[in-house]
Amino acid sequence: MLDYHLHLWPHAQSDAEASVEQVASYCRRAAEAGVTEIALTEHLFRFTQARDLLGGFWDDLPGEALRPAMADYWDHHARVDLDSYVEVVLAAKTAGLPVVLGLEVDYYRDRMDQVAGLLADYPFDVLLGSIHWLGAWRFDVLSEPLMLAEWDLRDVDAVWEEYTRAMEELGASGVCDVFAHPDLVKIAGRVPAIPDEFYDRITEAAVQSGMAAEVSSAGWRKPVGEEYPAPPLLKRLVERGVPLTTASDAHSLPDVADRVGTLQDLLIGAGVTHVRGFRRREPYDLAVAPPDGG
């Protein structure tokens, strides 16, 4: 099994430095849970290079009252040097640790070409694509009253429509390899009465883009109390032959490889025999269960 979505720092931590020992501790924790390879996928917005290139993008987004909070969020997070992060992960790889170099990349409307240009000269193995904000609304930040209150001001179907359209545009950009937590929009437990259209469109976005989709235990740690993706969406992804990765989306050591055994059972129950790994953005497949079925 794989854990292909890992962060070195919690969101509350601002200034931070990576180390090979920290990566090694993640690898040890993962190995104890039966994970054979991890991907370090720190948020792109953590890095000063992203701030210098993309900073202020929120001024062009809907949600004027929410823009100052987005600016504060970036000011808090964008403190780390991308080159240093890459050097540490490459050093860990050179030391023989079972880790690949990745990033979690948000969708930046009308700016994905700039994002691709920034990342082109780095030896990334895998790039996760995510939707964490709709306009200037960071819909998954449930700890901030201003963000949480938006859920009561918006129509749930309209939120899902906007999210799904962003997923389609992210896939069409061709920048990333994997849709991270593909139905993250359900995080607060707000789901349309009939979500089938959105599940169909998210699946089609994966098929048309050639991207894999992530199966993540992180949803079990959120108010929705359910894995990503929801069972009906996972069923559609499997039926359409979309490759799958597995992930914990840990932001600290205790959550590394969280419930990986449950994810394995879920995949086997869905008829999935292999998960998708990456090397230098090229895919390879890994059996979900060992050859002896153990």
pLDDT in tens, 203-251: 999 999 999 999 999 999 999 999 999 999 999 999 999 999 999 999 9
Residue 16 confidence class, pLDDT cut points 50, 70, 90: confident
Mean pLDDT, residues 70-92: 97
Mean pLDDT estimate for the chain: 96
45 contact partners, CB below 8 Å, separation of at least 6: 51, 54, 74, 77, 78, 106
Q: How confident is the model at residue 15 (pLDDT cuts 50, 70, 90)?
A: confident
Q: Domains of the chain, with CATH numbers?
A: 2-287 (3.20.20.140)
Which pLDDT value is given to residue 290? Answer: 60
Share of the chain above pLDDT 90, in %: 96
* Whether 137 contacts 189, CB under 8 Å: no
pLDDT recorded at residue 249: 98
Q: Average of pLDDT values for 15-33?
A: 95
3-state SS, the chain, equals CEEEEECCCCCCCCCCCCCHHHHHHHHHHHHHCCCCEEEEEEEHHHEHHHHHHHCCHHHHCCCHHHHHHHHHHHHHHCCECHHHHHHHHHHHHHCCCCEEEEEEEECCCCCHHHHHHHHCCCCCCEEEEECCCECCECCCCCCCHHHHHHHHHCCHHHHHHHHHHHHHHHHHHCCCCEECCCCHHHCCCCCCCCCHHHHHHHHHHHHHHCCEEEEECHHHHCCCCCCECCHHHHHHHHHCCCCEEEECCECCHHHCCCCHHHHHHHHHHCCCCEEEEEECCEEEEEECCCCCCC
Give the model's pLDDT for residue 161: 98
Residue 99, pLDDT score: 98
Longest dimension (CA), the chain: 57
Asked if pLDDT for residue 289 goes beyond 90, the answer is no
- 291 pLDDT exceeds 80? no
Does a cis peptide bond (omega within 30 degrees of 0) precede residue 232?
no
Report d(CA 209, CA 198) in Å as an integer: 16
Q: What six digits make up the tokens of 103?
A: 């990033």
